[in-house]
Structure 1
């Protein structure tokens, strides 16, 4: 008699683990090891009295192999992968499964509101978020652009930069601009001056939001100066792949 009771208990656990078509045979190989690990965690939760045997359990999967399994415990608390969904557990799960961070927060909020699993999506693979496009283009500071162009025109008159100029134009969100051009002597000029360390620091103070762009330009300048000087006047015309860059090319 005990043998049949054990089989019935195992059948209920199997139903809890892999309900609604999530049989192990239908689980892609990349998820199987994680399913086995989480099933053992749920067994421990049942044995510890945290949840009822056969309680509803939801499974959310990510395309990179992550598995989040959620159930409601005996006292109404939310359990995730066999553990109480405490703040520290939630933070750890978000680090381990960043693609499911929003879903973990959803269950956290449900727990605070006493809603358990209410409103949760169906079991299965959660789609990846659509790729983000470039950030909105900040307005171009026309006065700053005119000043940078005038300073570059001086370089043209001095013979340091040839026309037509292939410029990289990067606006700052709160005003200001970087206007970068290559010179005949292999130098990289920004806003009318060679991008030396000193000039770069002055520009950082003026447009701190563009510090990463200055880093990129400094790296480009160092690469140029490592090779024999050549006319770089049009070098930036094909070098800019930044989707947020204003540029005449």
Structure 2
């Protein structure tokens, strides 16, 4: 608790006279202590140098999201690397702080670290007006992507794509992503190498951020032991504008 009190004291000292204070929601003592133990473990295992430069975001339901930068400059959330799978799990565990999880995930993908993060205790802003209108599916592009994936099925690299992730572009085109039996991530019929990702960006430029997320997911998969990823993408897309046929 000393770290939190110190951070609050510094924050209050820099407020301008007459400024309206930001009221932090109530928080659970047990939850704060749990998160601080996670940071202590991160320090002990060498993920970060110390536990003082952390930010805390408090949910009205008593949940806590705390973030920091690790020794290598990557974002840590509640004491672990903010990988795509960790971000999905955190969004499920603390839905009222899901927007903040996504903020830090997008920052990491863009190489911005903690830049632009709100101060401690500040809740995420309310959505401005709901999701964007659902873009129409480009049936021709989807058929071509499915046909290319069918070749992978015949080759035994991919099971029937029951866990496929389908992301339509606003101006035509689509990303059709499936997990392979060999632990690879295939998009539109090919492994998502850097070269293939760059080619896809030229055809569906408005889906660049989705390609960033898929590339990060592939890198995480390739860093672990190979396993059948057939259903790995099932339920993996939280974007309301994402078509997922599972």
Q: Which has the larger radius of gyration?
A: 1
With structure 1 as the length reference, what TM-score do the two structures score? 0.49
Structure with more contact order per residue of length (Cα contacts < 8 Å, sep ≥ 6): 2
Q: Tell me which protein shows more helix as a share of its residues.
A: 1
